[in-house]
Homo-oligomer: A and B are copies of this chain.
């Protein structure tokens, strides 16, 4: 056999995804052309098609990878404890995970409308799974009596919206450290859903 399959593609492939990620986050999927991505990688546009069947798949792969990473990281977290303890763990995990991947997070919910219906359904399913994890905690807390929310489903969405909002303003090296941000949000979440 001649050159091992992907001897260069090992380098170029990830570079394509990295370039697409950064450009999609900065300018939006629809506003970024395949030629712009290629220029960033240092390659002609046609060469991109060695790494993705089309532009849509490139977007979908980025979003799916992000959501899969999220789910995997979540299940790696230590589990167990009271509902309150698990809620704190969820809160801190969410902030930590999302603040470390601003581009992925931004794309994952700004570009939902640019997915084909089938691809959208997949991403939506993963997002629902993640929300369900939080909803379970809130439900258990109600059963335990340690938490009291007016509506479990709404509280779930409210907490996630609040936590994801961190990404719109938090920057490393700012007034607050990530640990301080975690603490501030945990204070508010805890009070908001406390019994």
Interface residues of A (CB under 8 A from B): 26-28, 30-31, 110, 113-114, 149-151, 154-155, 157-162, 164-165, 168-169, 176, 181, 183-185, 187-189, 191-194
Contacts and interface: CB of A to CB of B under 8 A. Distances in A.
For this chain, the copies found in one complex come to: 2
A158 B162 contact: yes
Contacts of A184: 150-151, 154-155
A121 to B, nearest CB: 17
A150 B185 CA distance: 9
A194 B190 CA distance: 12
A165 B169 contact: no
Contact of A188 (B158, B160, B181): B158
